[in-house]
Amino acid sequence: MFPLPDTKNYVSWRTWGCRWRSSDIFILSSMSMALFTDEMLFAFMVPLLPHIFENRLGLDTSLTQRLTSIFLVEGALISIASSPFIGNLADRASSKKVLLLVLLILTLISVLCLSITTSLIWLFLGRFFQCIVSNALFIVGMATMAENIGSEHMGKIAGLTSTLVSAGTCSGPVIAGFLFGIGGYWTAWAGAAMFLVMDIIMRLLMIEKPQKRRDTARQSHNRSLCPDAHEHLSDTEPLLDADRSSATEEINGWRFYICLFRQSRFTAGIVSYFVFALFIASFESTIPMHVRYAFGWGVFPVGVLFASIQGPGMILAPLVGMLKDRVGSRVPTTIGFISIAPFLWVLGVAGDERYPWATLGTRGKIIYCVCTTMIGCFMCLLMGVGTMEATRTVDELETLHPGIFGPYGGYSRVVAITNMSWMSGLLVGPILAGLIVERFGYLNLQCVLAVTSLLASVNAAINLNSASPQKDEYDSDFGTDEP
């Protein structure tokens, strides 16, 4: 006979540090570290690709740029295609912690495989699995924060996430280049592995504390699965009939998405998120070529321009998130789109010889820099709109129809949809911008983007909500003090 496990020691280990391991601060820190690592690893390979293609794979130098572009596009396509399946799988998992641990271990394995490969086919195959796991890590991480912290704080969560994504994307190539410079190829990959090991340790320590909504949904789900539990009590027949008539049927598959897109605030949030990503991708694909042609600028000035667009978001995103938690996303998002529109038009005018007032001397350069900075500031108001509206739509439907999205809710699936809308905007942006600039010119592209921004502001003003019912409910239950 095998000895029985020492359950007492297991329980004591389980409850050790329960207060801080299940605290909002530790959960946010743990998920923040995971999201930062995820974004950092996604961009980590960019400075290493020339070395991998030319030295480890022995390919011709002329193929490096083409293969690098394919390598990066692969990530966006895989993210779009895999998001619905990942969201559906994550919402069926009773514990996000176990799923996160599995994903982190798979990420570590994919990093090891990418580092040792000496074949082009295996490199792209490894990237394929890395992108799937990375996408799953982002979706499950966001859903975990929404479930454990509460969607009434989704503005702050979205602001924090925006900062982490920007920081991870910017620091990934820097960390890889630094480690490669001081220790070579294997030192760079060892640094990436260390980040993942730290994530795994934090995930082992973290204790989930999902919201009451999940318990309510699970109880409703169990009642609907076991309606005969009270049939032996004759005096409860009327109650049983009432329970049966009020039981909510669980919505799965395509019906889940149809149900969500019938909610105007959800659809408006997804569209706003898509337009936001469209703007980002359009800037990234057109600014370098335009400023070189119009102003004769090289790599460093282009880097400064992108910093002026992305920098304000890293600083202001948490503040904007707190604002949206208080007033909702309608007013900030509408103001953001309206304010961006005129600067988009002026961005196209600066440096255009048909407008001498915006071209003479250094005036065009100054105007262009001011416009990119102002656009970066006002785009902060658009951050997190898709995720906020998605999670709050799920909460509203769950409140009206408990258990409608199953015993574990639908956060992962709606986060997957917002991720798809973002990645779709990043794919459509360069294609649309390239076609318009090539046929009609840079100014016409900016006019199209300005009109799109105004239309998006109308959509936001009409369909987005101006207040957070979840916050009101939270305040009524626990007082008005902010956690």
345-399 tens-digit pLDDT: 999 888 777 877 767 667 888 889 999 999 989 988 988 888 888 888 888 888 8
DSSP class of residue 4 equals P
Q: Predicted confidence band at 2 (pLDDT cuts at 50, 70, 90)?
A: very low
210-219, 228-237, 375-384, 390-399: least confident range: 228-237
pLDDT of 416 above 60: yes
Summarize the confidence of residues 262-272 as an average pLDDT: 91
Q: Is 309 left (phi over 0), alpha (psi -120 to 50) or beta?
A: alpha
Structure tokens at 448: 């199209």
| pLDDT of amino acid 470 | 43
Report the candidate in 341, 351, 44 with the shortest Cα–Cα distance to residue 169: 44
Given CA atoms 366, 368, 371, 376 in this order, what sign does their dihedral have?
negative
**pLDDT (tens digit, 9 = 90+) per residue, 314-353?**
778 778 888 888 888 899 999 999 999 999 999 988 877 7
Q: Predicted confidence band at 287 (pLDDT cuts at 50, 70, 90)?
A: confident
Summarize the confidence of residues 106-118 as an average pLDDT: 87
Given CA atoms 16, 17, 22, 26 in this order, what sign does their dihedral have?
negative
Q: Are 374 and 49 in contact (CB under 8 A)?
A: no
pLDDT of 238 above 50: no
Structure tokens at 118: 């000496």
pLDDT of 240 above 70: no
> How far is Cα 126 from Cα 121, in angstroms, rounded to an integer?
9
| pLDDT of amino acid 152 | 65
Q: What is the pTM of this model?
A: 0.71
pLDDT of 457 above 90: yes
| pLDDT of amino acid 272 | 93
**pLDDT (tens digit, 9 = 90+) per residue, 293-318?**
888 887 678 777 877 887 787 778 77
Report the candidate in 358, 322, 364 with the shortest Cα–Cα distance to residue 156: 322
132-141, 180-189, 217-226, 435-444: least confident range: 217-226
Q: What letters, b where the CB count within 10 A reaches 16 and e where it falls short, cover 185-206?
A: eeebbebbeebbeebbebbeeb
Summarize the confidence of residues 114-138 as an average pLDDT: 86
| pLDDT of amino acid 476 | 38
**pLDDT (tens digit, 9 = 90+) per residue, 4-40?**
444 444 344 456 677 777 777 888 888 888 888 877 8
Q: What are the chain's domains? A: 21-209 (1.20.1250.20), 251-467 (1.20.1250.20)
**Residue ranges in 296-362 assigned as alpha helix (H):** 299-327, 330-349
57-66, 131-140, 327-336, 439-448: least confident range: 57-66
> How far is Cα 277 from Cα 285, in angstroms, rounded to an integer?
12
CA angle 429, 435, 437 (to 5 degrees): 95
